[in-house]
């Protein structure tokens, strides 16, 4: 099935501690149905010191399930994603405005 959300898409978080915040998808994990958004859903990871890196408490963006994300349309509002055929190509479009993504 075609992906509704892709790397580089601007999304808004629908649930959780970062609800209402927007960001850009930096990584998609299709098998786990999760995405990582830069600067959001931050968790502190404790790492051991090694020869090349200093140890300590490092902030890290954690994955969020795709069902908790919504694409942001041209108006800055959350929208669902649909598919249609334009010029023999399958194109994603925002359901609120109808414009292609």
pTM score, whole prediction: 0.82
pLDDT band of residue 3 (cuts 50, 70, 90) is: confident
Predicted confidence (pLDDT) per residue in 28-82, tens digit: 999 999 999 999 999 999 999 999 988 899 999 999 999 999 999 888 899 999 9
CA-based nearest residue to 78, from 17, 9, 32, 26:
9
Q: pLDDT at position 98, please?
A: 87
**Res 1 pLDDT > 60:** no
Nearest one of 57, 64, 10, 58 to 40, comparing CA atoms: 64
CA distance 80 to 56: 40
């Amino acid at each position: 099935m075609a992906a509704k959300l892709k790397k580089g898409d601007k999304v808004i978080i629908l649930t959780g501690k970062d609800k209402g915040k927007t960001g850009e998808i930096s990584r998609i994990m299709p098998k786990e149905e999760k995405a990582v958004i830069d600067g959001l859903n931050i968790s502190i990871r404790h790492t051991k010191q090694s020869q090349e890196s200093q140890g300590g408490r490092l902030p890290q963006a954690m994955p969020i399930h795709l069902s908790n994300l919504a694409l942001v349309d041209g108006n800055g509002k959350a929208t669902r994603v649909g598919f249609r055929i334009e010029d023999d190509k399958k194109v994603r479009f925002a359901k609120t405005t109808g414009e292609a993504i």
